[in-house]
Amino acid sequence: MIKELDYRANIFAKHLKMGRIFNFGVLMPKPQQDSYYWLLPYRGIQKAQEELLSHKVRANFFFFDRYDEKSVLNTGRRLMKTNPDGLLTAPVLPAGFNRFMADLPPELPVVFFDSYLPGVKPLSFIGQDAFRSGFLASRLMRQTVPRSSGLVAVIKILPEDYHIAGRIEGFLQGSRDWSGLRPETLDLVGSWPAADTRKYLETFYRKHRDLVGIFVTNAMTHKVAEWWKGNSGKEKIILIGYDPIPRNVALLKAGAIDFLISQQSERQGYEGIYALFRKVVLGEEVRNRIMTQIDIITVDNVDYYQS
């Protein structure tokens, strides 16, 4: 009869009867880093946790320093001492994370969001197609730059991870058929204070007066926009960057940023907790890749956009 009716035990009901609490460890950068970008996925994780409180799901946050490889290991080891039922993490420092992942028990369900590690197969990766988003940015740049010739700066934010590299690769691939425009990659350390960033960019601009566009590969778009906006007399350029954090949105409305590309970061955190819930609590299969949309935000639609 069980076979004929395709009966399956209700795993969740069984856990509920036992009073089981499910603890999911969250290993991610400090929310205030990268211009408060990490608040976006943090909010998504919190939202999912609130919805799943009745299912006895808890998210335990462990924050590491985005600019310190050792912090990944130290924070990750503290997390593992809590014996989590699953792990949600953003592996944005590849060297530190490769070492950390090597020590994890093979049976622990792991979900990546925001970035990934080549050669590592988590339960699921939730994020954007970095290459395609960079390719899209190159198309936007080509169609909107004010002049038919000149330099387009590609700002690579350091320390670099694989999804930043993917965006740069996509942008450069998309620029191969440009005529009259030439891209040049410029390294910028993400932890630099604003004064150092302005000085560095000003030195670059003195050598490249034919600058017509800038592509910033992460949420620190506002740092470049504030430098450009604060110098009167400069000609119009096209500035494209990432993520609707408050400072970026304000500069988008002020006309200093032309386009923001959203990777739906809040949704990434939200989907990450639900992926662990479906696997660990419900015993269901989980898609190994959950790709978020590539959204283009402009001054005309930003007030109606939800990340």
Q: What is the pLDDT of residue 9?
A: 53
Judge whether 45 and 270 are in contact, CB under 8 Å. yes
- Each domain of the chain, given as residue ranges in start order, spans 2-127+264-292, 130-262
What whole-number distance in Å separates Cα of residue 152 and Cα of residue 158? 19
β-bridge pairing 259-262 and 295-297? antiparallel
Handedness of CA 210, 216, 220, 225 (dihedral sign): positive
What whole-number distance in Å separates Cα of residue 11 and Cα of residue 141? 51
Q: What is the pLDDT of residue 14?
A: 53
CATH value of 130-262 in 3.40.50.2300, 3.20.20.60, 3.40.190.10, 3.20.20.150: 3.40.50.2300
Instruction: Return the CATH number of the domain spanning residue range 2-127+264-292.
Output: 3.40.50.2300
Judge whether 211 and 150 are in contact, CB under 8 Å. yes
Average pLDDT value over all residues in the chain:
92
Residue 6 has pLDDT above 70, yes or no: no
What whole-number distance in Å separates Cα of residue 265 and Cα of residue 126? 10
Q: If we measure between CA atoms, which residue out of 162, 223, 138, 213 comes closest to residue 188?
A: 223
Q: What is the pLDDT of residue 158?
A: 87
Establish whether domains 2-127+264-292 and 130-262 are of one fold. yes
What six digits make up the tokens of 77?
A: 């080891």
Mean pLDDT, rounded, for 259-282: 97
Mean pLDDT, rounded, for 197-223: 94
What whole-number distance in Å separates Cα of residue 98 and Cα of residue 266? 25
Percentage of the chain modeled with pLDDT above 90 = 84
Interval 97-152: pLDDT, tens: 999 999 999 999 999 999 999 989 999 999 999 999 999 999 999 999 988 899 99
Handedness of CA 49, 50, 51, 55 (dihedral sign): positive
Interval 191-204: pLDDT, tens: 898 899 999 999 99
Interval 39-69: pLDDT, tens: 999 999 999 999 999 999 999 999 999 999 9
Q: What is the DSSP letter of 302?
A: G
Q: What is the DSSP letter of 304?
A: G
Mean pLDDT, rounded, for 278-306: 94
What's the residue count for the chain?
A: 307
Burial class (CB in 10 A: 0-12, 13-18, 19+), 169: middle
Q: If we measure between CA atoms, which residue out of 253, 252, 287 comes closest to residue 271?
A: 287
Burial class (CB in 10 A: 0-12, 13-18, 19+), 186: middle
Q: What is the pLDDT of residue 216?
A: 97
Strand partners, 112: 89, 125
